[in-house]
């Protein structure tokens, strides 16, 4: 039986017994394809039905769902080791895990990220028989996590952390011998990630003054607690119901304009444009725009025209915000068939920036959401864990399944070169600072050409028909004058998909 891959084996859970039995019966269907093990019926199931699916289609969908639920529902616990003498970077913040205070700060920073995974038994996707995204929706989930991080920065107080963040699990903190790359050379020490034993009940303390507030200022704890209604609202936007503006139902529907449908795999560039359209389509998120770079180039004037409200109103409305906040998404390719090691230092420097909201990509056949690194390993959130759908319309629904307590790492050299990098700027001044800081980070690459560039002017000044804020198709591949020779060395990132 297929179990989830070791890199995704940090999460605890299971599947219904009848699903397990059904999937065992279906194992002879398994065949090898270019993207890994895959039942031959997948292509048929992903086709849009002209009308209501018949009983055979429903049965096939149920069997496929059961097979994928087992494949991505079974897990094996494995521990992740963190070096106590090297800093861990998480989206612009650094933590040296050599004291309880620092481990606590790292715990809050990691667990507070929104974690979005495969779900099962959600309402049927329109025009298909799918009631789960197991086996095909991992890049959509990674994209959701990237957008969710941007919304957290946009809506929540600065440096907000979840007051009810769980304790870290399956983590070791070790002191490694200098220059020793192997774990066997480490000297393990007891983890101090949890202030209480695993079987010790948490004491009820008044005024929310438990361990979760012990390492933070009292005023910050009160502030974070008061922000919980916004936290809940943000998660509902990613619910697995058709009305949710950033749920899988809406994203799949938007993806149809790019030739994608439920059951297909999505590349990081296509997902960037789907997220842009989703934000532009909804009225629930105010004062926020998404810009998608074209051909590894951010055209500053296009961003200004997208964000400067006064330029889009005649006559100008003095009561409106002068400048929209912006999420900038940059699809890139960091090498040919494999990651170019020359870009590793540059990726590290990008993840050190506070304006960075993460990277969606992964390793071959496996999409991930990268949020940091330690030494030569990336820190990530993995969507490859199948959970039951949560009814986010219920009052005070549980947030636990939307936050991960098991941090995982993977070596940089296993990173797939096709990815999309995300940034956030709250106002015009922040955008100018972002351009400067990111340009410095990009210059750290040993390669002759940077990962991407910022240029003055608009895309149309360089031969593009329009700028990316209203671009509906795949990213254009036209470079500014003097740099066109690079286009022959880059491939459209949408050609590279992840299972």
What are the residues whose beta carbons fall under 8 Å from the beta carbon of 22, sequence distance 6 or more? 62, 63, 66, 67
CA-based nearest residue to 262, from 46, 40, 42: 46
pLDDT for residue 10 is more than 90: no
Find the range with the poorest average confidence among 7-11, 68-72, 454-458, 461-465.
7-11
CA distances from 448 to 442, 458, 483 (A): 11, 24, 12
pTM over 0.75: yes
pLDDT for residue 313 is more than 60: yes
CA distances from 77 to 7, 182, 341, 422 (A): 10, 20, 30, 31
Beta carbons within 10 angstroms of residue 180's beta carbon:
10
pLDDT 10s digits, 17-53: 333 333 333 333 333 333 333 333 344 444 444 445 5
Q: Dig out the tokens for 289 from the structure.
A: 């725009």
Check if the beta carbon of residue 326 is closer than 8 Å to that of residue 293: no
Q: Dig out the tokens for 234 from the structure.
A: 């943000």
pLDDT for residue 202 is more than 80: no
Higher pLDDT, 325 or 199: 325
Strands 453-455, 297-299: pairing is parallel
Q: pLDDT above 90 covers what percent of the chain?
A: 59
Would you call 413 helix, strand, or coil by DSSP? helix
**Helix (H) / strand (E) containing 224:** helix 218-226
Rounded mean pLDDT of 80-86? 94
pLDDT for residue 188 is more than 60: no
* Per-residue pLDDT at 265: 87
Rounded mean pLDDT of 70-90? 82
Distance of CA 385 to the CA centre of its chain: 14
> If you ran DSSP here, which 8-state letter would residue 430 be given?
H
Higher pLDDT, 72 or 15: 72
Can you give the C-alpha Rg of the chain in angstroms? Answer: 23
Enumerate the active-site residues: 138, 382, 384
Find the range with the poorest average confidence among 10-14, 176-180, 205-209.
10-14
pLDDT 10s digits, 417-464: 999 999 999 999 999 999 999 999 999 887 778 999 999 999 887 765
């Amino acid at each position: 039986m297929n179990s989830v891959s070791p890199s995704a084996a940090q999460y605890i859970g299971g599947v219904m017994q009848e699903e397990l039995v059904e999937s065992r019966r279906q194992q002879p269907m398994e065949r090898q394809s270019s993207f890994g093990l895959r039942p031959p019926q997948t292509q048929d199931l992903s086709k849009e039905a002209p009308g209501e699916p018949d009983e055979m289609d429903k049965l096939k969908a149920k069997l496929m769902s059961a097979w994928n639920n087992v494949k991505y529902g079974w897990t094996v616990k494995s521990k992740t080791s963190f070096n106590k003498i090297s800093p861990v970077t998480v989206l612009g913040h650094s933590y040296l895990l050599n004291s309880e205070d620092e481990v606590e700060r790292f715990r809050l920073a990691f667990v507070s990220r929104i974690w979005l995974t495969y779900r099962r038994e959600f309402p049927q996707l329109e025009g298909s028989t799918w009631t789960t995204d197991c086996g095909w929706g991992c890049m959509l989930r990674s994209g959701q996590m990237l957008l969710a991080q941007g919304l957290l920065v946009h809506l929540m107080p600065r440096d907000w952390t979840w007051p009810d963040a769980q304790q870290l699990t399956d983590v070791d903190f070790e002191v490694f011998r200098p220059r020793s790359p192997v774990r066997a050379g480490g000297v393990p020490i007891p983890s101090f990630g949890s202030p209480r034993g695993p079987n010790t009940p948490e004491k009820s303390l008044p005024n929310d003054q438990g361990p979760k507030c012990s390492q933070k200022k009292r005023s910050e704890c009160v502030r974070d607690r008061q922000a919980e209604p916004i936290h809940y609202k943000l998660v509902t936007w990613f619910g697995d119901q058709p009305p949710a503006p950033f749920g899988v139902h809406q994203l799949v529907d938007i993806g149809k304009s790019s030739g994608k449908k439920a059951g297909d795999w999505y590349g990081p560039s296509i997902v960037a444009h789907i997220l842009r359209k989703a934000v532009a389509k909804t009225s629930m998120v105010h004062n926020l725009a998404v810009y998608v770079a074209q051909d590894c180039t951010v055209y500053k004037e296009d961003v200004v025209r997208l964000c400067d409200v006064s330029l889009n109103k005649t006559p100008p409305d003095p009561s409106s915000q002068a400048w929209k906040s912006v999420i900038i998404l940059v699809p890139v390719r960091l090498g040919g068939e494999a990651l170019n090691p020359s870009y590793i230092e540059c990726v590290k420097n990008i993840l050190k920036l506070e304006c960075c909201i993460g990277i969606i990509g992964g390793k071959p056949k496996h999409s991930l959401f990268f949020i940091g690194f330690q030494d030569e390993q990336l820190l990530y959130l993995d969507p490859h864990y199948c959970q039951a759908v949560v009814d986010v319309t219920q009052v005070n629904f549980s947030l636990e399944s939307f936050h991960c307590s098991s941090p995982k790492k993977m070596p940089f050299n296993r990173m797939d070169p096709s990815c999309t990098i995300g940034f956030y700027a709250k106002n015009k001044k922040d955008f100018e600072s972002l351009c400067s800081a990111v340009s410095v980070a990009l210059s750290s690459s040993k390669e002759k050409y940077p990962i991407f560039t910022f240029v003055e002017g608009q895309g149309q000044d360089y031969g593009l028909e329009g700028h990316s804020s209203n671009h509906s198709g795949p990213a254009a591949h036209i470079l500014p004058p003097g740099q066109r020779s690079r286009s022959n060395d880059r491939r459209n990132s949408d050609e590279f998909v992840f299972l």
